Structure 1
Amino acid sequence: MRKTTYKENKMKDKKFAPITELRFKIVGVAIKTLDRLGTAHPEEVYDSIFRVDLEKAGLDVTNKPKLLLKDANGKVVKTYLPDLRVRHEGLSVLVELKADPQGLQASHKRQAKAYLSSSQKDQAVFLINFGCKKKNTPEVDSIFRRDL
């Protein structure tokens, strides 16, 4: 079991923007999931278990929310299915999970940007890679609206 660091304990005392606090909460759950499972599983395993762990942490989770990209006439030209939508205290973010031993790639970030540009409900996309063996924590990247 991983111990909390001095930095993590100091961060508990500070006040952060709500989106940052939500990110901390989601990443904290991801760390616990990775501690329990390790890095050897396919993405579907992390998807199922992480979703339950998020719900147990008190977060509202939707599996595979539909994001519809429409043209100027309202015709759907593409349907995206990100892994999760997490809602908490008026915020909504998408979470895209990976289990890639090579780490997060540029293609993963493009995928996250496509999701965010197709959704008006979500403030950010958090990319979480459980497959990177180089670290004891999941690799995480965040894409915010300002990054589009």
Structure 2
Amino acid sequence: MFFYYGKKKDYKYDTLESLKPFRIGGIVGYFYEEDLKKAGLQVDYAPDELSAIRKLVAGRMELLPLNELVGRYHIRKTFSDRQSDFRTLEKPYSVDALNVIVSKQYPNASALLERFNTHLKKVKAGDSYKAILKKYGIGE
């Protein structure tokens, strides 16, 4: 996701190149460094997530690509009184699936995956799962 701070704005983008008019932030070593460079963006890099978010709040950058869960965690922890001032662009920078991988050589690998998936469905059907999502501000 691209985070921004302050009043709601109508930031929209189709490609990374269309973000050239904006001050973009980033975190050193993140997967997107090469993409942002290829797009010709001038990026103000920070050494870690929290430093980058602080730069965003200070106005040194307008947009910050950051994993939504990581961003919301740091915002909730450090800027809890200003959480509502942080927003994300509608279009995500990237969408990544989370997967469980089990080696085929692991004894009873398919049975293990089947049990995992069965129990995951039960957890997702329960109220505790919804409560966890709500607690951490995560949409399903």
- TM-score, structure 2 as length reference: 0.30
Bigger radius of gyration: 2
More strand by share: 1
- TM-score, structure 1 as length reference: 0.29
More helix by share: 2
